[in-house]
Amino acid sequence: MLKTKEILDEKDKRLREVSKEVVFPLSKEDKELIKKMITYLTDSQIEEKAEKYDLRPGMGLAAVQLGVLKRYFVVVHEREEGVFDNYILINPKIVSNSEEQIYVELGEGCLSVNREVEGIVPRYARVTVEAYDENGQKIRVRGREELAIAFQHEIDHLNGILFTDHIDKENPFAGENLYRAI
């Protein structure tokens, strides 16, 4: 089982590296890591399990956050109470996005950033991502609102970018009136 302490902290320089394209077929290690990521993210969103196993709640994890510099991530989205959709996106690319931009009103978070960070992180309200699934089949996924934010956040990780990089250092709430809060 994956433990919170195995997730790299923002001070770790590996988080600033650009991850490498994945070559198929996936290795046994990558398949096992993906399973662990899904389990961690699912359990972290179920309050009793999060408390029992001391998990920080999260809906996305990029391989780089576990020290694996490969272009894949997992998002576990709770569609409704106790119902989760798993997204495994390998070599993802955003192929289209909305003009409308949004931000998380309570602030974006990250399993690698172990502190409260205030400020606006502008994100597209809708994105379409092309990627590959675990079997190397090309897939196309659309995300809206929090799912779109999660996809953009995780793709940033693959490019060595943290959400804190998007916040205006001088004025963390700059542009608040330009974007819709969710």
Q: List residues with catalytic annotation.
A: 154
- Are the C-beta atoms of residues 126 and 143 closer than 8 Å to each other? yes
List the structure tokens of 150: 């999660």
Among 157, 178, 155, which Cα is nearest to 16's?
157
